[in-house]
Amino acid sequence: MRIGFVSTYPPIECGIATYTSYLNEALKKIGNETFVVSTLGAHGVGVFRIYRPESTSMPTQIFDISAEFTPDIIHIQHEYGLYGPQRGVHVIGLIVMYKLAGIPVVTTLHTVQEEPDHAESTLLRLIVNESAAVIVHEQFQKDTLVKHFGQEEKIHVIYHGIREVEVIKDAKKKLGIEGKKVILLCGYFRPTKGFKEIVELIPEICKQANDIVLLVAGKARGLEYLEYQREFYEAINNSPVNDRIVVLRGQFPQHTFDTIVSASDIVILPYEKGAQSGIMAQCFAFNKPVIASNLLAFRKLVKRSNGGWICKSNKEYIQNIIKILGDDDLYRTIQYNIKEYVKNYSSWTLIAQQHIKVYQSVVRIPYGRAKYVYWEEEK
């Protein structure tokens, strides 16, 4: 099958870009041909960087180049703001252009809030109506869409893919924290991430475990949340245990990020807002137990995988951190649970196969037993 993606793509700093790159490679490995139409700044084999999200001609630019490749399917990776002004309104015109040309569109909605606001609801209704199929990562997201827009038969749940990779050896040594039990906070420095609150809990945690280090890895985007950034760094600098807090600031390329996650023992996700669990999938790739906030997406993945705990209070964060870092048998059990979950439910090979089933369900030609063949040239 020839599959055309419309998405951001590495090295662009974007979780959707990373997701698309993994799905793209997994689909190629099982015998499909792919190409990606992306924004300026993207790079890779079969990647065409042709548009700026803010350009009013964006839909036409994307359609014109992608249609030339006569794809069997166009797969749009959707996130608000990636497709022009007003939360990304240009994506609607693009979907309609493909529909009029007889090219089926599958749209993955990476964010579906439990209660969409007016703008989100307006865009989602049009996307669901005009797409041949819609993919979401969690059942509750499908339930939300069906509740508001109906069309249950065209909405499919495919879990977030997870890499099967090895932990990077000597990661703690590379970061200068060898011999320590490492708690990781990672992501953009924003009020909704809950990082400052965890920094404020570290003195109490250190009273109960003297070999703990808090590793904070991430950055702020541009000049956003300047006052919060000041407060966050002041909380770190003024902490009575600031010698037990290591801050790594930056947007990390994949290998660097993998090294940071490999160096951790557990990952804390105290996020106050969010509708998908992509960051948890990154942690599970390295069999790292997670201690997360009570967000619905986190609750669902932790329940399926038995890969950590959900916390509803600061007291629970402290108790669960101490519990898991102080019980080696429990720690190994959780790691085993994560590994089995990835292998049986969320490896990228499985996720790619599930996508093919969705694609096949909307291709209009009755191909029957005809097979699509594609081999990359040997190097």
Taking the mean position of all CA atoms in its chain, how far away is CA 237?
31
Q: What is the mean pLDDT of the chain?
A: 93
pLDDT value, residue 275: 64
Question: Which residue has 């245990």 as its token pair?
Answer: 241
pLDDT digits (tens, 9 = 90+) for 81-127: 899 888 899 999 999 999 999 999 999 999 998 889 999 999 999 99
Residue range 339-364: average pLDDT? 95
Residue range 131-145: average pLDDT? 96
| pLDDT band, very low/low/confident/very high, at 379 (cuts 50, 70, 90) | low
What percent of the chain is predicted at pLDDT more than 90? Answer: 82
**Between β-strands 47-51 and 73-78, what pairing exists: parallel, antiparallel or unpaired?**
unpaired
Sheet holding 212-219: strands in order across?
245-249, 212-219, 181-188, 266-269, 290-292, 308-310
- Could you tell me which of 170, 250, 181 has the C-alpha nearest to residue 215? 181
Prior bond to 85 cis, omega within 30?
A: no
- Could you tell me which of 358, 279, 255, 348 has the C-alpha nearest to residue 25? 348
pLDDT digits (tens, 9 = 90+) for 232-251: 999 999 999 999 999 999 88
172 has pLDDT over 70: yes
Residue range 204-218: average pLDDT? 94
Q: What angle do CA 353, 356, 360 make, to 5 degrees?
A: 145
Lowest mean pLDDT among 20-24, 54-58, 347-351, 355-359: 54-58
- Could you tell me which of 321, 328, 325, 290 has the C-alpha nearest to residue 203? 321
| pLDDT band, very low/low/confident/very high, at 220 (cuts 50, 70, 90) | confident
Structural contact between residues 1 and 32, judged by C-beta atoms closer than 8 angstroms: yes
pLDDT digits (tens, 9 = 90+) for 246-286: 999 988 888 999 999 999 999 999 999 876 668 899 999 99
Structural domains of the chain, with CATH = 2-161+347-362 (3.40.50.2000), 171-345 (3.40.50.2000)
48 has pLDDT over 70: yes
Joined together, the tokens standing for residue 161 give 């893919």
Task: Please name the amino acid found at residue 359.
Answer: Y
The terminus-to-terminus CA distance of the chain in angstroms comes to 22
Where are the strands (E) in 189-242, listed by range? 212-219
184: β partners: 215, 267
368 has pLDDT over 80: no
pLDDT digits (tens, 9 = 90+) for 287-338: 999 999 999 989 999 999 999 999 999 999 999 999 999 999 999 999 999 9
How far apart are alpha carbons 8 and 156 in whole angstroms? 22
Sheet holding 73-78: strands in order across?
47-51, 33-39, 2-6, 73-78, 105-109, 133-136, 155-157
Structural contact between residues 127 and 95, judged by C-beta atoms closer than 8 angstroms: yes
How far apart are alpha carbons 164 and 166 in whole angstroms? 7
Question: Which residue has 């069906």 as its token pair?
Answer: 146
**Which burial class, exposed, middle or buried, applies to 191 when counting CB atoms under 10 A from its CB (0-12, 13-18, 19+)?**
middle
309: β partners: 291
Residue range 60-76: average pLDDT? 96
Measure Cα distances from 212 to 99, 180, 314 in Å.
55, 6, 18
| Local structure of 106: helix, strand or coil | strand
Structural contact between residues 31 and 19, judged by C-beta atoms closer than 8 angstroms: no
How far apart are alpha carbons 27 and 355 in whole angstroms? 9
pLDDT value, residue 222: 72
How far apart are alpha carbons 314 and 23 in whole angstroms? 37
pLDDT value, residue 372: 75
